Structures are given as C-alpha cells and as structure tokens.
Amino acid sequence: MQKKLQHWNEVVEGTVLGPLAQYASTVEYDSRETTEDSIFVCIPGENYDGHQFIEQAIKNGAKTVAGTDAHLLSTYSSTFPSITFIHVADARIALSHLSSHVFGNPSESLSTIGVTGTNGKTTVTSFIYSILNALSLRTGSIGTAGIWDDAQKTSFRQTVPTTPEAPDIHRVLDHFNQKGMKAAVIESTSIAIEQKRLATIDFNVAVHTNLTPEHLEFHGSMENYKQAKLKLFEQAERAVVNIDDTVMAGDILEFFNGPLLTYGKNERADLRMRDIRTTLDGTSFTLQTHEGLFEVHAPVYGEYNVSNLLAAIGACKQSGYSMPEILSVISMVKCPEGRYQIVKNDAPYQIVLDYAHTPDALSNILQAVRSIPYHKLIVMITGVGLRDPNKRPLMAKTVEGMADEIIVSVDQPGFADRQEVVNDVLKGFRNPLEHNIHTKLYREEAIHHAFDLAASGDLVLLTGIGFGGYQVIGNEKVPYSELEVIDDYFNKCPSYKDCVMF
C-alpha cells in the first residue's frame, strides 16, 4: 500500500517539522517493525521510551515520526531534514488516528460491535459472531480467541493478548473490508480503551457484560477501571447493558442517550431470562421481551452463559435483526475454546475445562458444574503470576467448601516465583493444610494430579489460563497446549485404571 499522508493536521493534532506531506505505507510503534515509508510513533512503555528508537526507525525506512518530546524531535529534524516529525500531545491518540487514516478509515465501512466487561467478552463475541454469520451477515471477530473472518481463523499475528494495538486493528479491519465482511465484533478491554487503541472507532453497538475487580495493577482502582470501560459507551451509537450488574450498569443507564437494551434476570430487563433448566445438550429458558415470551434452547451451559447469550441477542437486535430471526439460528452459537469445554475422551470421569481466572468467573463455573450429577468434584485453581497478586487468595476463598479435592497451581508465571504465587493463593483458605488441598507448581503436574485423584463418576474441573497456545515464563511465550497435556496423561496410562490411586 502506498498512500500520501497529506494535510497531516487533518489527521492528527500537533506541530509538524520538516516536509508537510510524506508517503506512508504502515504505522508502527516498534522500530524493529518499521520498513520503507513507515510512520513511527514513539510510545512510552514499561521498559523503554519509543523516542529512544527514532534513529533505528529512520534507518529502517520510516519517513514520518510522531512523538511527544518537542526538543528531541526538533533536534532530529535538523539532522534528518527529509523526514517529517510531528510533535503531538498524546502519542497513543496519534497512533490511532494515523493508523485509521493510513488504512483508509476501514471501520467506517463496517458495522462495528464492541464488547466490554470483566468476564464474558470472548464468549459474547463468539456468540454474536456465530449468530450474525448464521444470519448471512458476513462478520469477522477480534479478541482473545484470535482474529476470525466469517470462514476461518486468520493468520494475523496477535502481539497483544486480546485487543490489538491500533495499527493492527485497522490492518485487520481493512482486511475484513477487502474480504467482503460487513461487520466486525471487537473485544474491547479496559487496557485497550485506556490506551486509546480503539479511539477512532465509532461503534454501532457497545455491549456490557459485568464489572468485578481485575487489572487493578494497571488501573490502580475500581473507579478508574470502571471509567475506562465506560468510555466505550461514549463512542457508541447503541448500547446493550447487563442490568444485573450492580457496579457499572447504573452509570451507563444514567449517561447514555442513544437506543439502549437491558438484559438479565432483573424484572426490569428488556430481555429477561426466566425458568432456566439445564439439559444434557444445553440449557432451556424462557425469554421475556416486550414482544412477548419465547421458549429458547441453546447449546450453552451455566446461568452466566444464558446471560452472555442475552447480551449477544441484544447486540443482534441492535444491529437490526428481529427476535424470530435471531432465535431461528440460536442453535448455532458456539462457545470459544476453553469456556465450559467438555473434553471428549474415554476417561470414566467427566473433564471440564474453563478459563475462569477471576474469583467471579470461578464462582460462576463452580455453580454451573455443581448442577450436573457427579460423585466427587475435583477442581484445579491457579494463581496468575502476571496479574494482580491480591486476586490470588480470593480464588481459594471462592473454591473453599465447593469441591471435594482442590489442586492449587500457577498460570502465566512471568517473572513471579511459583512457590510465592501458590503461597499467596493458599492464604485465602481458612486451613491451607486441610487434607484435600494439594499444591503443584506446574500446571501440567497439577492436571495430572487431578486425574490421579479422580475415579469413576467424578467430575474434574480444570480452571485458569490454559488456552491461547502459550504460558508466559520469564519474558518468553513458551508453547503450551492443554489438550496435549491431557492426552499425555491418558497416552502414558492407556490402562488408566493402573494409574489412579483409588
């Protein structure tokens, strides 16, 4: 792509030094990725300040550099008179505007749906994606489960776990346009919103799931966390709000002026779930709406997933579909990998995998599995090395008294000491020395230990971040596959009965 960046002041607010117009092919925030005619935007990070890499970016071909350090940019402008330097007040805002511009403002040609909330973003995104595609609206999705066009997972590299950096989002949206997509569902994390990765997107619909403590190491307080999520609704035309969430729903209802749909168990909900019944192949419930009552059966498990389903139904309604149209394809909704995933193998006990890594998510999945018949419930929980240490003991508090055997382990350790992470989790138990509490420092060992403890008729629930293809150890992404770890156990013990302790 070759595009002339003219009238730069219409794209970003700032002061230009050097040539007023330049050819621009891509926008990069990493000097190592810059190529001929890139725009390089200097972002301050945890380890470095992007301004340190201006020379490298120029050496690699960057012709435009945007940053916040006026003095440094002015000095470089004298050294490199053929390069355009743009002094901006906010590098992340500039990154978003330049990215959108260079890729031809691709979000404007798509119907965009942003999904935010502490838990359920990936699931709701996947539900909306399946419903809209089943209704023949060609839809792509962006989030923790990867980047999907309407047919398949694309090969876009995910440099950020959930919501990509602005240049990557606009590159993907441009690709969606070129492939003929008409809509895009975007998981919108609070960190991404705070870092203005989505700043230039005017969402057609913003969807809220819930708000419980998470990412406090980043936001500093629940209030900041909530304010970050609320910003998504300031840039949306229509909204879908979980009225059962007491933390954030009220704020949205108060300030949002556009068309809004609420959902939940609450009797005031526009989309209200009643009479929820779990069956072997999913969940049945009555959906009460202003248009009347609908009997719904969907291949999802757990009350929280019915709530996620209502969020998706609300988003599809806000996208212009009628209730009968939406419900005609509801059997096609798909849960993403690792969200209440039932492992199909020959073990004489049931194995359920779930991504729950917050106390709220853990509490929900425990409630959901406890509605299924089992002999003994064996649960693996984890402390996450990379995230808020204060959350670790809360995981123990949540599972205490809810399972027959509990195995505590570690996820995504990063640079954290594994034993310390486990010890932090253990602090949440009233008696960490209880005979049914086991500890294993590695997720693989913990899973195998859970199977060692299981016998016929039991249910093994493995929670935590076992999905996404890797574990972050130190600063390396070490490949990890939950299903391979499970297969290893059964391959090593083809006659598993010889391996179990009971």
Ligand X SMILES: Nc1ncnc2c1ncn2[C@@H]1O[C@H](COP(=O)(O)OP(=O)(O)OP(=O)(O)O)[C@@H](O)[C@H]1O
Binding residues for ligand UAG (CB under 6 A): 29-32, 43, 45-48, 50, 53, 159-163, 165, 189, 191-192
Q: Which partner, ligand UAG, ligand X, none, binds residue 354 by CB below 5 to 8 Å per kind?
A: ligand X
Rg over alpha carbons for the chain, rounded to the nearest Å, is: 24
- 89-121 burial: b if 16+ Cβ within 10 Å, else e: eebbbbbbbbbbbbbebbbeebbbbbbbbbbbb
Site string for ligand X, 191-210 (x = CB under 6 A): ------------------xx
Closest distance to ligand X from the beta carbon of 467 (Å): 9
Give CA–CA dist 9/15, Å, rounded: 8
Q: Which partner, ligand X, ligand UAG, none, binds residue 111 by CB below 5 to 8 Å per kind?
A: none
Q: Kindly state whether residue 307 participates in binding ligand X, applying the rule CB under 6 A.
A: yes
Closest distance to ligand X from the beta carbon of 463 (Å): 7
Which of 111, 283, 308, 439 is the binder for ligand X (CB under 6 A)? Answer: 308
Name the helix (H) or strand (E) containing 116.
strand 111-116
Q: Is 464 assigned to a binding site?
A: no
Q: Is 34 assigned to a binding site?
A: no
User: Given 3-state DSSP classes, what are the helix, strand and coil percentages for the chain, each rounded to the nearest 5?
Assistant: 35, 25, 40
Q: Are 22 and 63 in contact (CB under 8 A)?
A: yes
Q: Kindly state whether residue 163 participates in binding ligand X, applying the rule CB under 6 A.
A: no
Which of 63, 97, 121, 229 is the binder for ligand X (CB under 6 A)? Answer: 121
The residue range among 164-172, 191-199, 304-312, 399-407 that interacts with ligand X, by the rule CB under 6 A, is: 304-312
Q: Kindly state whether residue 480 participates in binding ligand X, applying the rule CB under 6 A.
A: no
Closest distance to ligand UAG from the beta carbon of 344 (Å): 27
| CA within 13 Å, CB half, 312 | 32
Q: Is 84 assigned to a binding site?
A: no
Which positions ≥6 away from 228 have C-beta within 8 Å? 190, 191, 193, 194, 219
Which of 122, 190, 262, 318 is the binder for ligand X (CB under 6 A)? Answer: 122
Q: Is 154 assigned to a binding site?
A: no
Residue holding tokens 């609704």? 233
Q: Kindly state whether residue 360 participates in binding ligand X, applying the rule CB under 6 A.
A: yes
Sequence letter at residue 40: F
Name the helix (H) or strand (E) containing 378.
strand 377-384
Task: Tally Cβ neighbours within 10 Å of residue 385.
Answer: 22
Hey, what are 130's tokens?
A: 């399946």
Q: Which partner, ligand UAG, ligand X, none, binds residue 365 by CB below 5 to 8 Å per kind?
A: ligand X
The residue range among 132-140, 261-269, 349-357, 397-405 that interacts with ligand X, by the rule CB under 6 A, is: 349-357
Question: What's the per-residue H, E or C state across 235-281?
Answer: CEEEEEEECCCCCCHHHHHHHCCCCEEEEECCCCCCEEEEEEEEECC
| CA within 13 Å, CB half, 145 | 25
Q: Kindly state whether residue 361 participates in binding ligand X, applying the rule CB under 6 A.
A: yes
Q: Is 117 assigned to a binding site?
A: yes
Q: For ligand UAG, which is the closer residue by CB, 212 or 262? A: 212
Q: Kindly state whether residue 471 participates in binding ligand X, applying the rule CB under 6 A.
A: no
Q: Kindly state whether residue 173 participates in binding ligand X, applying the rule CB under 6 A.
A: no
Q: For ligand UAG, which is the closer residue by CB, 191 or 372? A: 191
Q: Kindly state whether residue 64 participates in binding ligand X, applying the rule CB under 6 A.
A: no
Closest distance to ligand UAG from the beta carbon of 241 (Å): 20
Q: Kindly state whether residue 355 participates in binding ligand X, applying the rule CB under 6 A.
A: yes
Task: Tally Cβ neighbours within 10 Å of residue 282.
Answer: 18
Name the helix (H) or strand (E) containing 284.
strand 282-289
Residues of each annotated binding site for ATP: 117-123
Residues of each annotated binding site: 31, 117-123, 162-163, 189, 195, 197
Binding residues (CB under 6 A) for ligand X: these are 119-123, 144, 162, 209-210, 304, 307-308, 339, 354-356, 360-361, 364-365
